[in-house]
Structure 1
Amino acid sequence: MFSGINFEDIFGGLNFDFGMGNLFDSFFRRGRERARPVRGTNIEVDLYVTLERIAAGGEEVVHLLRPATCPACHGTGGEGGVAPRKCETCGGTGRITHSRREEKEHLLIQQILPCSACHGRGSIIDHPCPECYGSGEVEQKEALTVKIPVGIEEGMALRIPGKGMPSPSPDGVAGDLYVVVRTWQDARFERADADLLHTVMLPLIDAVLGTRLNVQTLHGSIDVTVPAGTQPDAVLRVKGKGLPAFRSERTGDLYLRIRLKVPEHLTQEEQELYEQLRTISRKVHEENLNK
């Protein structure tokens, strides 16, 4: 039928990369190829866990809402399980084609629009299910147990296959659930990877003279020596008293940040002692200047 006609000559001037073999091959190949099953979308939820759980590992429960087939209509969306009827306006295609002819240009223009009767679905539910309101799905509470690895890092995601959103296609597969682990805010410690930071309010006199502190860690209480002359905002390091590093034999450290606690109210005796100390300090300072 097309013998003697060179389509490349006709369409070449329109800047088409035109190859008739490729065009017809791809056209007929589409009919032979099967559409891949549609995969449901993934779900991502945050799970907040304590420092103790991160240090020891173990199991936690994730609560989530996932769509499930409505038990009242068995997924049809119709009251009593009645299946939707095919839309008579579009014949079940969900689309309406509007055509108009431009006589001057000898063109037939077609416009395809969603069917207004069925809103593009191709079917109509006369009496929607009162449980799911015609959607065929209801939200279902689900509790899943996940295993928290020792030393898991902030923001790491645990993948649970098949626990995401269901596929919109009957032969499709559900998506996956990603549980993003977050560190629960702790009044005692700040986390920095495997290290922990703890703020110590130290009396001024103890910073001057030095002292020993009993400090609580995730591994129990320990005694820490504060050297004499410790300055404000000094940081003391306690090795191996942080969190276990993820997939490593290393353990992080505990850092003690020193904040000085200046007394707001003094007894008469304390007032006199501080006055004596100030007098002595000034005398020592003057002697050092005169040397």
Structure 2
Amino acid sequence: MKKDFYEILGITKSANEAEIKKAYRKKAIEFHPDKNPGDAAAEEKFKEAAEAYEVLSDAQKKAQYDRFGHQAFEGGNGGGGGGFHGGGMNMDDIFSQFGDIFGGGGFGGFGGGGGGQRRTKGSNLRIKVKLTLEEIANGVEKKVKVKRKIQAQGVSYKTCSTCNGQGQVMRVTNTILGRMQSASTCPTCGGSGQIIEKKPANADAQGMILEDETVSIKIPAGVVDGMQLKVSNKGNDAPGNGIPGDLIVAIEEIEHEFLKREGENLHYDLYISFAEAVLGVSKDIEAVNGKVRIKLEEGIQSGKILRLKGKGIPSINSYGNGDLLVHVNVWTPKTLNKEQKQFFESNLSNENFVPSPEKSEKSFFEKVKDMFS
């Protein structure tokens, strides 16, 4: 089981942005590979801290993690050879994304990634995927066509003369504490350590061309509108020996014709006639995976809420399914013929037609309270 992100950084859920960044920098310095050469355990803790910071430093991701835990960013490899957010960061990811935490790629004399060449990462791509309520309830695999930048055939590179292939330039500053060394990304090659030597005519200045690719995305059951999933390495390629960016998939829920979603629960408005309410009736209810037949007892009251256990949406945390709540509405006829009108007039004073709610009958406000509890 994956460790809690707050526990990894040694902070609480109430920590603000500055406290999260400070806690991450402290852990990163403690377990940095340059400070712990050859220590696999320290490197793993360094990666764990970076993964925790990636989520907790982003307000939207943090909110999703607080609500759903690790399941908010997992659910399959998505055809991208990695996974969604939190799917195991590598050292290139960490130094390309969080170099600023260490003062431009290094800190106090430690270089970014052991002082060797830092592999750059390509830019991310973002798409929106629309899902029906049925697809959300069952999980689905979507194939989408993505236009992404890839390295053109025939491109060749040579070592950057500014950084001598290191991808970083080092600066030494004299301070009251002594000589401090810091590293920053090479302005000539952008951190790749290489510059283009030759390229085909159809490639851009970075040796890239646009190409359509069909990407398979495995979407777990229970996702919510606005949630973002990540397919690793399906963004734009990076120049030279860099690693591709990621494909960020934003979920958009298509509104259902009859069902309204509230978290894992679903709501359905059932309208019945006055005669059906008096006599009782069986009705077919629209559920997310087909119709469900329910029986209404004689004399059922308008406003009654029937709860069908487990007929809602699966929890993304695998805590089971929500429920389907059927709201009974007795439809009062607006027009009556003469015979019908006479029938009701003759029963105006009949004791069976006089409202007489039982003490056990809950009020409207009690029903609303029960519904949200």
Question: What is the TM-score when the length of structure 1 is the normalising length?
Answer: 0.56
Q: For residues 18-49 of structure 1, give each alpha carbon's deviation from its aligned partner in whole angstroms, at most 9, with x where no partner exists.
A: xxxxxxxx89x99x955623212222322122
Q: For residues 220-279 of structure 1, give each alpha carbon's deviation from its aligned partner in whole angstroms, at most 9, with x where no partner exists.
A: 433323345544443221112223333426222111123332223323322222222334
For residues 136 and 51 of structure 1, what CA distance do their matches in structure 2 show?
43
Task: Note if contact 2:347-2:353 (Cα within 8 Å) is conserved in structure 1.
Answer: no
Indicate which of 213, 217, 231 corresponds to 1:160.
231
For residues 205 and 126 of structure 2, what CA distance do their matches in structure 1 show?
27
Q: 1:64 to 1:271 in 2, by over 3 A?
A: farther
Indicate which of 260, 268, 289 corresponds to 1:198.
268
Larger radius of gyration: 1
* C-alpha deviation, 1:162, in angstroms: 0.8
The structure where strand makes up a greater share of residues is 1
Q: 1:202 to 1:139 in 2, by over 3 A?
A: farther
Q: Percent same amino acid at aligned positions?
A: 26
For residues 131 and 233 of structure 2, what CA distance do their matches in structure 1 show?
23
Task: Note if contact 1:154-1:193 (Cα within 8 Å) is conserved in structure 2.
Answer: no
Question: What is the TM-score when the length of structure 2 is the normalising length?
Answer: 0.45
Of 266-275 and 226-235, deviating more is: 226-235
For residues 320 and 338 of structure 2, what CA distance do their matches in structure 1 show?
52
Asked whether 1:275 is paired with 2:345, we answer: yes
Q: How many pairs align?
A: 206
Q: Could you say which structure has the greater relative contact order, defined with CA pairs below 8 angstroms and 6 or more residues apart? A: 1
Unaligned stretches of 5+ in structure 2?
1-107, 157-195, 356-373
The structure where helix makes up a greater share of residues is 2
Asked whether 1:64 is paired with 2:146, we answer: yes
Question: 1:149 maps to what in 2?
Answer: 220
For residues 265 and 132 of structure 1, what CA distance do their matches in structure 2 show?
73
Q: 1:136 to 1:223 in 2, by over 3 A?
A: same
- Superposition pairs of residues 124-139 of structure 1, within 5 angstroms: 137-139=208-210
Unaligned stretches of 5+ in structure 1?
1-25, 77-122, 124-128, 286-291
Indicate which of 288, 308, 312 corresponds to 1:242.
312
Question: 1:257 maps to what in 2?
Answer: 327
Q: In structure 2, the residue corresponding to 1:278 is in which secondary structure?
A: coil
Q: Which residue identity lines up with residue 59 of structure 1 in the other structure?
A: E
Indicate which of 279, 285, 292 corresponds to 1:215.
285
Q: 1:223 to 1:190 in 2, by over 3 A?
A: same
Of 210-219 and 251-260, deviating more is: 210-219
For residues 215 and 268 of structure 2, what CA distance do their matches in structure 1 show?
34
